[in-house]
Amino acid sequence: MENQFIIKGGNPLHGEVVIGGAKNAALGILAAAIMTDETVTIDNLPNVRDINVLLTAIESIGATVNRLGPHEVQINGSTISDVTIDYDSIRKIRASYYLLGALLGKYKRAQVALPGGCDIGSRPIDQHLKGFRALGATVNIEYGMINTFADQLTGNHIYLDVVSVGATINIMLASCMAEGRTVIENAAKEPHIVDVANFLNSMGANIKGAGTDKIRIDGVKRLHASEYSIIPDQIEAGTFMVAAAATKGDVLIRNVIPKHLEAISVKLIEIGANVEEFDDAVRVSATDRLGHTQIKTLPYPGFPTDMQPQIATLLALSNGTSTVTESIFENRFKYVDELTRMGANIKVEGNVAIIEGVTGFTGASISAPDLRAGAALVVAGLVADGFTTVDSIHFIERGYEDFDKKMTALGACMEKIPVDDEREIQKFKMKAV
Ligand code: UD1
């Protein structure tokens, strides 16, 4: 039975929230973990759907996956008996492609179903494949599968035509046990790239320069056991920062790396919110209506595309005219129609959203079009007058652990109920009044 969120808006968020491990780092790290035959222990793993799908895929090829708790897992890749991954749910997650790089790097062959993920635009993987080919692999796409194999992988100089997080990580995976040196130029610099590189290095890889646009990978013969804790999730943290500001609340967001949040903090401060940085926490509060600004999504350290729907939602409630330019994915404004139904005044022209701030939203029945937009619509519901239901929350659960529980602990009035369960809706409304 599909669930939905029901929300009664109007409560400012107050208190403390603890951020989980970074989903996008974890996906790369779990794939990397199968590259050694020794046991790897990974901590601060977010307990979200994308991670669980990837773990199931890893198990399906024979690796041993031992969940020590909701946020800790042990993986042993010595029992892998197959290099073909083709089951339905793996197509739903983008990061299935990391298994290509990991299996190719370890066994010199892999066959993985073409990835899907959020429908936020066409998402080519030509740069990943170009990287594999540069290392000496043959790559074919047949019957919805990517098939890649090599006699030997040899380091090479690879210049990425577009800055791609996925391609950068995949090439690191495929090349870390190749013969000789690989250099990735125009590499992505996101925090999770550094985290995957640090994890691979903790297993004995020799990767330097992650976090800059030139990464050098010297191939090693083998990787070994490691214990590793994943970095905090930049986007989960950013979402709570925006939610605190949008509801005119005051929230201490704990277990974060403030440096990773700078692009978000700077914009919040610019429009009038208060952001206080601590060693591993940020506190965000707002009292008055916030102001307008211009935002353009860019690769790290620019403003993250994964925060675009959330910040646009906040700007839709702020004073004046803002523009949000989406420069990474072409189809990332699908939530605008839903926000409009709640009273927002947003016009999309090409890859630019022109936002005329309104003084408030009103509750409506809306649907999450994708992961981050879904979270943004929940934030809209938290601010809106009256009741909002958000369905298709399976998108949100791909990347946010206990989203409703964390919001409720901060004072939000929301609940997860079965879709269109009138009795539950009435019960919630009675309680909420
Ligand atoms: C990752 C994140 C996603 C985030 C995105 C940008 C994961 C699992 N997902 O996605 O949440 O929104 O980074 O920060 O980590 N491109 C090509 N050819 C390629 C690869 C990418 O043209 O081979 C283009 C894409 O269409 C896009 C841009 O490059 O316009 C960036 O994509 P990329 O960084 O690869 O995103 P993902 O790794 O898919």
State pLDDT tens for residues 38-66. Answer: 999 999 999 999 999 999 999 999 999 99
Q: Is the CB of 70 under 6 A from ligand 1?
A: no
DSSP string, 189-228: --HHHHHHHHHHHHTT-EEE-BTBSEEEEE--S----EEE
pTM of the model: 0.96
Q: Which is nearest to 211 in space by CA: 178, 257, 244? A: 257
Q: Is the CB of 330 under 6 A from ligand 1?
A: no
Is the predicted pLDDT of residue 116 greater than 70, yes or no?
A: no
Q: How far is CA 146 from the centre of its chain?
A: 23
Least confident span in 192-206, 235-249, 327-341:
327-341
Q: Is the CB of 401 under 6 A from ligand 1?
A: no
Q: Is the CB of 303 under 6 A from ligand 1?
A: no
Q: Is the CB of 328 under 6 A from ligand 1?
A: yes
Strands 352-356 and 365-367: unpaired
Could you identify the atom of ligand 1 that is nearest to the CA of residue 330? 30
Report the alpha-carbon distance of residue 203 to residue 192 in Å, rounded. 17
In Å, how far are 49, 172, 226, 278, 317 from 32, measured between CA atoms?
Answer: 19, 10, 11, 32, 42
pLDDT for residue 89: 66
Report the alpha-carbon distance of residue 32 to residue 24 in Å, rounded. 13
For residue 162, report the distance from its CA to the centre of ligand 1, in Å. Answer: 9
**How much is the mean pLDDT over the chain?**
95
> Hey, what are 282's tokens?
């940020």
Ligand 1: which residue has its CA nearest to atom 5?
165
Torsion on CA atoms 123, 128, 133, 136, rounded to nearest 10: -160
For residue 48, report the distance from its CA to the centre of ligand 1, in Å. Answer: 20
The answer for residues whose C-beta is within 8 angstroms of residue 9's C-beta and 6 or more apart is 361, 363, 381, 382, 383, 384, 385, 386, 387, 388, 413
pLDDT for residue 407: 98
Extended strands (E) in 224-303 = 226-229, 250-254, 274-277, 281-285, 294-296
Ligand 1: which residue has its CA nearest to atom 35?
164
Ligand 1: which residue has its CA nearest to atom 12?
306
The answer for residues whose C-beta is within 8 angstroms of residue 155's C-beta and 6 or more apart is 135, 175, 178, 179, 180, 181, 182, 183, 217, 218, 219
In Å, how far are 309, 311, 325 from 315, measured between CA atoms?
Answer: 10, 6, 13
The answer for residues whose C-beta is within 8 angstroms of residue 233's C-beta and 6 or more apart is 19, 20, 21, 22, 23, 24, 46
> Hey, what are 354's tokens?
């022109």
CB contact at 8 A, 191 and 238 = no
The residue ranking higher by pLDDT, 203 or 331, is 203
Q: Is the CB of 27 under 6 A from ligand 1?
A: yes
For residue 332, report the distance from its CA to the centre of ligand 1, in Å. Answer: 13
The answer for residues whose C-beta is within 8 angstroms of residue 428's C-beta and 6 or more apart is 6, 8, 415, 417
CB contact at 8 A, 316 and 271 = no
Over range 76-89, report the average pLDDT: 87
Ligand 1: which residue has its CA nearest to atom 1?
165
pLDDT for residue 330: 80
pLDDT for residue 7: 98
Extended strands (E) in 230-272 = 250-254
Ligand 1: which residue has its CA nearest to atom 29?
164
The band of 119, judged by pLDDT with boundaries at 50, 70 and 90, is: low
Element (H, E) at 320: none
Q: Is the CB of 33 under 6 A from ligand 1?
A: no
Over range 177-184, report the average pLDDT: 98
Q: Is the CB of 398 under 6 A from ligand 1?
A: no
Ligand 1: which residue has its CA nearest to atom 20?
125
The band of 122, judged by pLDDT with boundaries at 50, 70 and 90, is: low
The residue ranking higher by pLDDT, 1 or 111, is 111
* Count of residues making up the chain: 433
Measured CA angle at 208 (ends 152, 306), to 5 deg: 95
The answer for residues whose C-beta is within 8 angstroms of residue 31's C-beta and 6 or more apart is 54, 58, 95, 98, 99, 101, 102, 173
> Hey, what are 324's tokens?
């949000």
363-368: Cβ within 8 A, 24+ apart: 363/7, 363/8, 363/9, 363/387, 363/388, 364/338, 364/388, 365/389, 365/391, 366/338, 366/341, 366/342, 366/390, 366/391, 367/338, 367/391, 367/392, 368/335, 368/392, 368/393, 368/395, 368/396
Could you identify the atom of ligand 1 that is nearest to the CA of residue 126? 23
Mutating to test ligand 1, I would choose from 24, 27, 165, 260 the residue with most ligand atoms within 8 A of its C-beta, which is 165
The band of 121, judged by pLDDT with boundaries at 50, 70 and 90, is: low
pLDDT digits (tens, 9 = 90+) for 276-288: 999 999 999 999 9
For residue 353, give the 3-state DSSP assignment.
strand
pLDDT for residue 117: 54
For residue 188, report the distance from its CA to the centre of ligand 1, in Å. Answer: 10
Is the predicted pLDDT of residue 118 greater than 80, yes or no?
A: no
The band of 355, judged by pLDDT with boundaries at 50, 70 and 90, is: very high
Mutating to test ligand 1, I would choose from 96, 162, 264 the residue with most ligand atoms within 8 A of its C-beta, which is 162
Q: Is the CB of 180 under 6 A from ligand 1?
A: no
* Rounded percentage of the chain residues whose pLDDT exceeds 70: 98
Is the predicted pLDDT of residue 120 greater than 60, yes or no?
A: no
The answer for residues whose C-beta is within 8 angstroms of residue 402's C-beta and 6 or more apart is none
For residue 180, give the 3-state DSSP assignment.
coil
Over range 185-197, report the average pLDDT: 98
pLDDT for residue 83: 92
pLDDT for residue 142: 87
Could you identify the atom of ligand 1 that is nearest to the CA of residue 127? 23
> Hey, what are 428's tokens?
């919630």
Is the predicted pLDDT of residue 98 greater than 60, yes or no?
A: yes
The answer for residues whose C-beta is within 8 angstroms of residue 146's C-beta and 6 or more apart is 97, 100, 110, 111, 112, 113, 114, 125, 129, 139, 140
> Hey, what are 378's tokens?
């929940």
Least confident span in 23-27, 83-87, 97-101, 253-257:
83-87
pLDDT for residue 114: 80
The answer for residues whose C-beta is within 8 angstroms of residue 372's C-beta and 6 or more apart is 118, 235, 239, 306, 307, 308, 309, 310, 399
> Hey, what are 103's tokens?
């299996």
Over range 14-39, report the average pLDDT: 98
Over range 336-346, report the average pLDDT: 97
pLDDT for residue 402: 97
